[in-house]
Amino acid sequence: FADLVEILSPSVVSIASTTVVRNTGTQDEIPRFPEGSPFDEFFKEYFDREKRRSPSQRPMVGLGSGFIIDTSGIIVTNNHVIEGADEITVILSNQKEFSAELLGRDPKSDLAVLKINPKETSLNSVNWGNSDKMRVGDWTIAIGNPLGLGGSVTTGIVSAISRDIGGGPYVKFIQTDASINRGNSGGPLFNVEGEVIGINSAIISPTGGSIGLGFAIPSNSAKKIVQQLKDFGRTKRGWLGVQIQPVSKD
């Protein structure tokens, strides 16, 4: 797979999402003492001092993966990678960093589309493959940023198709035994032609690490949603069925 990986790796990015978390420390945490007690004054001074020392806001950084689908700077990732982020940074395989704009996201399918301004930097993009053609036993290649180790490559096979793991009514996952860990989310799952046939999104594991049960959103489902997020900033879904309303005795 080395020749193929050499071509594909520059198209895969690491994503750092920064969320500002407010410090929830309150005066209620101070132990209660009788009014005028020396302990009351001591703890009040201590907590006031700690409050000044600890900032009221602190940044939390989450790590994930993504891939470039257009050389103008369009990037696909998972919604849960960037959800709630105040700042999104995209890191290329050559370690160049760019601030990213969120074009749109769809929590129901767990997809998001980002945009960076590459300026003079030349970007490599990847092509969508046909996930409906994938069969159980076909080779798969995953590239991503597991546990902050950007550019990690793992291989495996398609273990199952149309797998329902309770991820919502809009996605039936491709199951693969290519090693997928935290941070691989949003990264591409390739076929041996180098086409994206899935977006790595979830694992099942009692340990939190890879045990060979990884799940990817099929490309045929993802590319339609990605196009809508790119064009409209949201997903437009049709409704077919029954509408229920209260009925009076009359």
**Residue written as tokens 């959103």?**
217
Q: In what order do the strands lie in the sheet with 87-91?
A: 97-99, 87-91, 12-22, 57-70, 74-77, 111-115, 101-106
**Claim: this prediction has a pTM higher than 0.95:** no
Catalytic pick among 80, 177, 210, 221 = 80
Question: Using CB atoms within 10 A of its CB, is residue 133 exposed (0-12), middle (13-18) or buried (19+)?
Answer: exposed
pLDDT of residue 36: 57
pLDDT of residue 169: 62
pLDDT of residue 118: 93
Q: Which of 181, 202, 178 is nearest to 190 (CA)?
A: 178
pLDDT of residue 165: 81
40 within 8 A of 33, measured Cβ to Cβ? yes
pLDDT of residue 113: 97
pLDDT of residue 215: 95
pLDDT of residue 46: 65
pLDDT of residue 39: 60
205 is catalytic: no
Spatial separation of the C-alpha atoms in residues 225 and 131, rounded to whole Å: 15
Q: What does the DSSP assignment read for the chain? A: -HHHHHHHGGGEEEEEEEEEEE----GGGSPP--TT-HHHHHHHHHHHHHHHHS-SEEEEEEEEEEEEEETTTEEEE-HHHHTT-SEEEEE-TT--EEE-EEEEEETTTTEEEEE---TT-------B--GGG--TT-EEEEEE-GGG-TTEEEEEEEEEEEE--SS-TT--EEEE-S---TT-TT-EEE-TTS-EEEEEEEE--SSSS-SS-EEEEEHHHHHHHHHHHHHHSS------S---------
pLDDT of residue 239: 75
pLDDT of residue 51: 60
Q: Is the dihedral of CA 220, 221, 223, 224 positive or negative?
A: positive
Catalytic pick among 110, 131, 159, 179 = 110
- Tens of pLDDT along the chain (250 residues) come to 999 999 999 999 999 998 876 655 544 455 555 555 566 666 666 666 656 655 556 677 889 999 999 999 999 999 999 998 999 999 999 999 999 999 999 999 999 999 999 999 999 999 999 999 999 999 999 999 999 999 999 999 999 998 888 766 677 899 999 999 999 999 999 999 999 999 999 999 988 889 999 999 999 999 999 999 999 999 888 777 888 889 999 8
Catalytic pick among 185, 201, 210, 221 = 185
pLDDT of residue 182: 92
Instruction: Please provide the size of the chain in residues.
Output: 250
80 is catalytic: yes
